[in-house]
Amino acid sequence: MKPVKIGICGLGTVGSGTFNVLTRNQREISARAGTDIIIEQIGARRDNPACDTSNSNVTRDVFDVARNPEVEVVVELIGGTGIAKELVEEAIANGKHVVTANKALIAEFGNELFAKAEAKGVTIAYEAAVAGGIPIIKALREGLSANKIEWLAGIINGTGNFILTEMRDKGRDFADVLKEAQELGYAEADPTFDVEGIDAAHKLVILASIAFGMPLQFNSIFTEGISEIAPEDVVHADEFGYSIKHLGVARQSEAGVELRVHPTLIPKKRLIANVDGVMNAVLVKGDAVGPTLYYGPGAGAEPTASAVVADVVDLARTLGSGQQTTVAHLGFAAGSLQDFPILPIEEIETAYYLRMEAEDKPGVLSEVTKILSGLDISIEAVIQKEPANGASDVPLMLLTNRTQEKNLLNAVNQIEALDAIIGQVTRIRVETLG
């Protein structure tokens, strides 16, 4: 079979990793693809000392790659949704397949780009866009294709997971760990995308669309970050038998689809609760197979390159044999996607962890429980601490059973209005994932 020629656009962390993996493992990759894969051209604004491209055809204009008649597959690794979108559109217009690791591009513009690709008879492959080296896209689209996916939950941002792990294991506060994460290169100078859940939201939208067979709906997702998580909440969660994780949750019911990213208490006995540091994991519940867990590095040069190259191999197999690709972009034929309603966060139902500061006097817990009971919210567990160093107030922690968020918010408003409650009530959602 004839060799497949590709063009790599971007020589940053993932781009250099992709170049190195392709060149280092050329024999194994060619044997698996059934044909040689040749890096025909590289588009990059500058060279990267992490890879030796001295013998490669390098251009400073990435659009040269998209227009090169010899290039069959454009590998977009420049990131963002500006030039990257223009590049992918140019590649499609020129009849080229695209491989990308760009979760923001897929989550925000995937519907539009997939339609253009289908009209031109080309494919956009994006395994590396979610959870780095974990092949979760392939698992959902192919390995679990016999299943009706009931729900999925994922730790899909390594920076946030690193911060929460350090807070739990070493008793550190958020700001302290965030600074270290930036020094280690896990977090950007502006960490908003990671710690406020935007990065995880991009990934969750992609997973949910594949799982449930619906168009991408990034603007409908609920997102809450971890910057307000206090060390004492991590400690109290542990006392209740839980770990706090920044979790993306997608669940389908007759009422609609839940799409939400937020801090979550997870029972420590669950495997996903023990995913620590910068690692990622996705738990998927299918009606036939039951729960399945996918674990591994969610970022980094070569873990992400592993997924990029896997997509290149898939395309090379079909191109080399002259066949057409058969897996739809979102795993469902384009005409069968359904526009399910996305449930507002007020309508979702979970259990809750509540922490409040109360005056040290009789009857306070009784007043709190009366408010909860009046809204049909039952209490699962209570921890009440002794006053510290003669203080006049005590911390009070509760775990509730499941209730709708709007009921819980009503209860919190009433509790905060009590004379004996000092300040605001901290609330964190709880998922058992059973």
- 157 vs 235, 263, 344, 374, CA distance in Å? 22, 12, 23, 38
Arithmetic mean of pLDDT, 164-181: 96
**pLDDT for the residue numbered 64:** 98
Domain hosting residue 354, numbered range: 349-430
- Provide the pLDDT for residue 426: 97
**Pair (177, 249) in one structural domain:** yes
pLDDT digits (tens, 9 = 90+) for 384-428: 888 777 677 899 999 999 999 999 999 999 999 999 999 999 999
Query: Could you read off the pLDDT of 330-370 as tens digits, one per residue?
Result: 999 878 999 999 999 999 999 999 999 999 888 999 999 99
Residues 290 and 305 in one domain: no
pLDDT of 156: 97
Query: What is the predicted pLDDT for the residue at 434?
Result: 77
- Binned at pLDDT 50, 70 and 90, residue 325 comes out as low
- Whether the per-residue pLDDT at 321 is higher than 90: the answer is no
Of 266-270, 287-291, 352-356, 385-389, which gets the smallest average pLDDT?
A: 385-389
Amino acid 322: pLDDT: 66
Statement: residue 282 has pLDDT above 80: yes
Q: Judge if 153 and 240 occupy the same domain.
A: yes
CB 187 within 8 A of CB 178: yes
**How far apart are the C-alpha atoms of 258 and 218, rounded to whole Å?**
12
Alpha-carbon dihedral 103, 253, 430, 197, rounded to 10 degrees:
20
Per cent of the chain over pLDDT 90 is 91
- ∠ CA 366-369-375, nearest 5°, is 145
pLDDT confidence of residue 323: 66
pLDDT in tens, 78-122: 999 999 999 999 999 999 999 999 999 999 999 999 999 999 999
229 lies in the same domain as 148: yes
Asked whether residue 92 is domain-assigned, the answer is: yes
Whether 197 and 53 share a structural domain: no
Instruction: Give the ranges where 171-224 is alpha helix by DSSP (H).
Output: 174-183, 192-195, 198-212
* 343 lies in some domain: no
Mean pLDDT (the chain) is 95
Strands 73-76 and 97-100: parallel
**281 and 387 in a common domain:** no
Domain match, 286 and 314 both: no
Q: Is 40 a domain residue?
A: yes
Do 265 and 194 sit in the same domain of this protein?
yes
158 plus 257 within the same structural domain: yes
Q: What Rg, from alpha-carbon coordinates, does the chain have?
A: 24
369 assigned to some structural domain: yes
Q: Is 138 a catalytic residue?
A: no
Question: What confidence score (pLDDT) does residue 367 get?
Answer: 96
Say if residue 105 is in the same domain as residue 166: no
The CATH number of whichever domain residue 371 belongs to comes to: 3.30.70.260
Among all chains, which residue has been given the structure tokens 């209490």?
A: 379
What CATH number is attached to the domain comprising 307? Answer: 3.40.50.720
Does residue 344 lie in a domain region? Answer: no
Specify whether 291 is located in the same domain as 148. yes
Domain membership of residue 63 (yes or no) is yes
Catalytic residue among 85, 96, 138, 203: 203
Lowest average pLDDT, out of 278-292, 316-330, 354-368, goes to 316-330
* Contact (Cβ atoms closer than 8 angstroms) between residue 123 and residue 98: yes
Residue 324 pLDDT class (50, 70, 90 cuts): low
Q: pLDDT tens-digit profile of 12-69?
A: 999 999 999 999 999 999 999 999 999 999 999 999 999 999 999 999 999 999 999 9
Q: In what order do the strands lie in the sheet with 37-43?
A: 58-59, 37-43, 4-9, 73-76, 97-100, 124-125
Query: Within a domain: residue 341?
Result: no
Same domain, 257 and 305: no
The domain tally of the chain equals 3
**How much is the pLDDT for 317?**
92
Q: Collect contacts of 369-372 with beta carbons under 8 A, ≥24 apart.
A: 371/411, 371/414, 371/415, 371/418, 372/398, 372/400, 372/411
Question: What's the distance, Cα to Cα, between the start and end of the chain in Å?
Answer: 48
Which domain CATH number covers 171?
Answer: 3.30.360.10
> Is position 207 within any domain?
yes
